[in-house]
Chains A and B, each alone.
Chain A
Amino acid sequence: MRMLRWSIGLVLIAAFGYFNFFIYDGPIYFKLINVILVSALFVLFRVIFGPSPADRIVAVDILGILIVGMLAILGLHYDQGFLMDIGLIWALLSFIASLAFAKILEGRSLDD
């Protein structure tokens, strides 16, 4: 059963890689950004179907770090430095949000 699921996943990922890197005709940076967006879809799967609240908090924390890398590649494509500013602020806010969520999960109040 586990072997079957693993094979299906491998076929799906290989199909995505083939379509993204060989069929899709776009700039190289957009191909890379597509990979990060599919990763973000996986993270959203964990946000929606996570069995416990901690799973959702982990997923949101990881999403913040993924977005920083995506914004760096987007800034390389458009040659604009200000996208990196957005990335830095995003990383800062997602870090503070993870700490606040962890504190609430632990059962303490925020001014503790």
Chain B
Amino acid sequence: MSLAVKSKIVVFVLAIVVWLALTGLGLQEIIAGVLVAAIVSLTAGHFLITTHKQKHMLHRWLYAVLYFFKFLWEMMKANLHVAYIVAHPMLPIKPGIVKIKTKLTKDAAITVLTNSITLTPGTLTVDVNEEKKEIYIHWIDVKATGIDECSKEIGARFESTLTEVFE
């Protein structure tokens, strides 16, 4: 079974499950859902799975769950930090745009890393340089300006877990 066919089958099953969870069981819903899911999976189904199955699947899923909880905790801290800054009468900010370096290579890993950086304390991704693997970050409370200190301060929290998940 080739990769595209497998990807289309996975998309079809996922679409059916989500549709039935949204609407409930019934003859009309099942017929309409099968039709629409077939159209969707035939036209756009080959984008979901693009690499062959790797080993250590259980290992990767465990680290993905660990990453999720770590991300939630960082996000709670981020929101309390921003609420403190906004409610403070003198607005204690010291903004600046810094540059960090990442060791991740895959596109999906870099996307997850940049999205996490945007949602965690005081940092916002501005641009990514794909050749040099550098990320430009707007930081609301700059503590260091050199590229190595910034990488250690911002990126290292997520990078170790993401390396286990994606590579």
Direct contact of A and B (CB under 8 A): yes
Q: How far is the CB of B111 from chain A (nearest CB, A)?
A: 15
A6 to B89, alpha carbons, bound, how many Å? 6
* Contact string against B for A residues 1-29, beta-carbon threshold 8 Å, 1 for contact and 0 otherwise: 01100100000000000000000000000
Mind listing 5 A-B residue pairs with CB under 8 Å? A2-B89, A2-B90, A2-B91, A3-B89, A6-B89
Q: Could you tell me the dominant secondary structure of chain A's interface residues?
A: helix
A2 to B89, alpha carbons, bound, how many Å? 7
Q: For A2, what are the chain B residues with a Cβ–Cβ distance below 8 Å? A: 89-91
A3 to B90, alpha carbons, bound, how many Å? 7
A85 to B22, alpha carbons, bound, how many Å? 10
* Contact string against A for B residues 78-105, beta-carbon threshold 8 Å, 1 for contact and 0 otherwise: 0000000000011100000000000000
A3 to B91, alpha carbons, bound, how many Å? 11
Q: How far is the CB of A42 from chain B (nearest CB, A)?
A: 12
* Chain B contacts with A in 47-89, Cβ cutoff 8 A: 89
Q: How far is the CB of A78 from chain B (nearest CB, A)?
A: 19
Nearest to A3 among chain B residues (CB) is B89
Q: How far is the CB of A19 from chain B (nearest CB, A)?
A: 21
Q: For B91, what are the chain A residues with a Cβ–Cβ distance below 8 Å? A: 2
A104 to B90, alpha carbons, bound, how many Å? 35
Q: For A6, what are the chain B residues with a Cβ–Cβ distance below 8 Å? A: 89
Q: How far is the CB of A95 from chain B (nearest CB, A)?
A: 14
A3 to B89, alpha carbons, bound, how many Å? 6
Nearest to A88 among chain B residues (CB) is B22
